Homo-oligomer: A and B are copies of this chain.
């Protein structure tokens, strides 16, 4: 059957997470460049439809600096997003759990 508005809103939320992760995974990142990458990731994904707010925190203290820089992966970031689709608001987050970058719907409600 057709999806409900809430289901479409959650689908849209998922698209944004897959976009953010796979567009930017592998980017060379260092403590010095982390802030500019956070801003660019947020602004890039906020361009997508229904994406109201994106907050990316690169975990600078966790970065492996053995070779001065490393490549961005899920272990080095925490992300929060808000999606507005119709009357529905979806809040999502990504954080590491058991060595896996877990993406999760935190809350869905109508406003």
Contact = CB atoms under 8 A, between A and B. Distances in A.
Interface string A9-52: 01111111111111111111110110011011111111110000
Contacts of A44: 27-29, 33, 36-37
- The bracket for how many chain A residues form the interface is 35 or more
A47 B101 CA distance: 15
Nearest to A45: B28
A26 B25 contact: yes
A1 B105 contact: no
B68 A71 contact: no
A57 interface: no
A7 B108 contact: yes
Contacts of A7: 6-7, 10, 105, 108
Interface of A: 1-4, 6-8, 10-30, 32-33, 36-37, 39-48, 66-69, 71, 73, 90, 92, 99-100, 103, 105, 107-109
